[in-house]
A and B are shown apart, each in its own frame.
Chain A
Amino acid sequence: MLCLYAEMATTRARVSSFSRNLSTVTPQNPGLKHGPNGTMFMSSGIPDLDKILGGGFSLGSLVMVVEDVEAPHHMLLLRNFMSQGLVHRQPLLYASAASRDPKGFLGTLPSPGSSKEDKSREVSNEKDLRIAWQYKKYFGEPQLNANTNNDGQHDYCNDFDLRKPLDRQFFSGMNVDCVSIHDSPNLAALQDRCAGFLAQVSRNEGSISSAGRIAIQSFCSPQCKYSNMEWHMLSFIKSLKGMVRSSNAVVVVTFPPSLLSPSCSKRLQHMADTLLSVKAIPDEDKELAKLLTGYQDMIGLLSVQKVARLNTQVPVILEATTFSIKLQKRRFLVLECLNQAPVDGSSGNSYGTSSGCSGSTTAGPLDF
């Protein structure tokens, strides 16, 4: 059965849309992967996000996450990102403006889950259930994930069980630096910390010994004393971007755009190599519930606005830019392609496009 499964997985990989096979994990470093144009990828800690981005975050890139003020979904991204770093034994730096005790963040990190039992179940599912060929592509994705993480911790990307805290053994002897920027009057101290951290993993010729991760949470939240100094914050991000380009590290910064002036927020978006945004979805939005399948399981939306293009001029055009964030078995974070239906559609014929994806639109006429 296993070999049958493996064969299915490979054929599915082949029929999926045209893409270069980049799954060569460097033998000495399981946390890194070769990407196109001489770049290296590092896992985001979410298998689906890695796949969407074409392999993960590129080393040397700046990832900006646009927060939603109503929900802490950006924390999901940050936790998985940092947990993956601990599992791969990479040096980490975490800075937070939201709390005085940034070490508390480490207690909330999820643990890599073993999804062996899931896998066998999915395989048996596949056997029992006969699926019409035109729907098969919708079932392909989760199984490929299961395939990537059956070896436990030595994989490029793990599935993280959000209900199980990370074991202490992962912290032992680890280089985790936690900084609070709650009380600091300016960003000079943080900049020095980042510079020192990035100097450890600076890029030199030859093999990459280690890669680092920096996560900065709620970058310009009003708790910080510098939150009214927009140019100061912009020049910090600018210099961070300059530093990270010459090092083997990825910087993830989350920021709440509503607290910034629109032009400042746009500038931050321009500076980002990879730009993601998270959104909460309202609980009782009946119209949305009718238009999207699986609305009950969704906990939020993630949209990919920009994908890093280091060393190339060709933009990455994704098949979809908005994905729903779901919890599989209330434990594992998955991203699913969202088939956007026109929520505020004014013309009647746009239903034609929505019916293909939601399937539930035939249930009743929707009046707007």
Chain B
Amino acid sequence: MEQKDLNLLDAVLGFQSYGNKANPWPLCGRFVLVEDCVDTSAAFVLHHILKRCFSSHSSSAVLFLAFSHPFSHYDRILRKLGCNLAAQRDNGRFYFLDMLMFQCPDEGKPNHDGLASVFEKIEKVVKALRQDKKFFSIMIDDISFLEVAANGSSNDVLDLLHYCHMLTSEYGCAFIVLGHKDIYLNGERPALILEMEYLADILVKAEPLATGLAKDVHGQLMVLDKDMQREQGISAIKIHNFHFKIKENGVECFYPGTKV
């Protein structure tokens, strides 16, 4: 990995020096929560992490639970980022679970087809992957869809998230979730998002520019890293703020006012 390819987002996610023996996958055992709103989608952060994951160590793999877009959508995007998802899928490094039509059965019926079956699938893949891939990540592309699929039962969704989070500590895999913050802003049942924010090790928030629409700046990112310095015994929270511009072949990140 050459230094010039890295941007601010890589730096704050800890991708400065990865891919070597000492630091094969910086998100190991960490929970990354990505939040966005209607005006600014943060899906590009997932694409970026996916790309970094496949360009790192060859023993890394990703399990992707897609609720909002089909495989062809991600395939096209990642191809422009320089990464062939179809080939990675054939290599066994990319597991794509198409959950677009997933719907839990109504209440009163046995809940075996519901979220329990989702977790069984996840666990099966994770256990199978453990044999040969050391570093893997679980990605969920839209937690609000999962909530809708569970008929609004945020407790069930939280249970699923807890189990997945448990996998991260047990097997050291990364857990990356995209959610929409503005759904919960009016104080209506905010338990899900609050609990996720509490559990998250890294919180990435995408917002539109406060000054309005711009062609050159698509929005601003706030990245909050909770245990950057845990090894030194200090648990300082680091906050990074910067602007971004999304392009087909990557994302450009810069501090406010420093774009050339």
Interface residues of A (CB under 8 A from B): 37-38, 230-232, 234-235, 238-239, 241-243, 245-246, 261-263, 266-267, 269-271, 275, 305-306, 309-315, 317-318, 321
Contact = CB atoms under 8 A, between A and B. Distances in A.
Q: What 10 A-B pairs come out closest when comparing CB atoms?
A: A242-B100, A231-B152, A311-B76, A262-B186, A263-B188, A234-B148, A242-B101, A266-B183, A313-B44, A231-B151
Interface in B190-236: 213-215, 218
Interface string B226-253: 0000000000000000000011100000
Contacts of A261: 188
Report which residue of B73, B77, B148 has the largest number of chain A beta carbons within 10 angstroms of its beta carbon: B148
B259 interface: no
Contacts of A306: 38-39
17 contacts: A231-B151, A235-B103, A235-B149, A239-B101, A242-B100, A245-B70, A245-B100, A246-B70, A262-B188, A263-B183, A266-B185, A305-B38, A306-B39, A310-B73, A313-B43, A313-B47, A315-B218
Interface string B109-137: 00000000000000000000000000000
A231 B213 contact: no
A238 B101 CA distance: 8
B186 A263 contact: yes
B247 A314 contact: yes
A244 to B, nearest CB: 10
Contact of A314 (B101, B144, B246): B246
Nearest to B44: A313
B159 interface: no
A318 B182 CA distance: 22
Contacts of B183: 263, 266-267, 270
A246 B66 CA distance: 14
B188 A317 contact: no
A247 to B, nearest CB: 11
A243 B180 CA distance: 22
Nearest to B73: A311
Given A266-B180, A267-B183, A270-B38, A317 B72 contact: no
B76 A37 contact: yes
Interface residues of B, number: 39
Contacts of A305: 38-39
Interface of B: 38-41, 43-44, 47, 68-70, 72-73, 76-77, 80, 100-101, 103, 144-145, 148-149, 151-152, 180, 182-186, 188-189, 213-215, 218, 246-248
Given A239-B103, A263-B189, 8 more contacts: A235-B103, A263-B184, A263-B188, A310-B73, A311-B73, A313-B248, A314-B248, A318-B213
A351 B214 CA distance: 20
A318 B100 CA distance: 29
Nearest to A233: B148
A241 B213 CA distance: 28
A309 B218 CA distance: 14
Given A38-B76, A235-B103, A235-B149, A317 B214 contact: yes
B209 to A, nearest CB: 11
A130 to B, nearest CB: 32
B218 A312 contact: no
A210 B207 CA distance: 39
A263 B147 CA distance: 13
A312 B248 contact: yes
Nearest to A275: B38
Contacts of A239: 101, 103
Contact of A238 (B41, B149, B218, B248): B149
A98 B218 CA distance: 39
A261 B213 CA distance: 27
B182 A266 contact: yes
A312 B188 contact: no
A276 to B, nearest CB: 13
Contacts of A238: 103, 145, 148-149
Nearest to A317: B215
A277 to B, nearest CB: 11
Given A238-B148, A266-B183, A317-B218, A311 B72 contact: yes
Contacts of B38: 266, 269-270, 275, 305-306
Contacts of B101: 239, 242-243
Given A263-B186, A305-B39, A235 B148 contact: yes
A235 B151 contact: yes
A243 B151 CA distance: 18
Contacts of A232: 151
A353 to B, nearest CB: 12
A206 B144 CA distance: 34
Name the residue in A231, A246, A270 with the highest tally of chain B Cβ atoms < 10 Å from its Cβ.
A270
B76 A312 contact: yes
A110 B87 CA distance: 50
B50 to A, nearest CB: 11
A309 B73 CA distance: 10
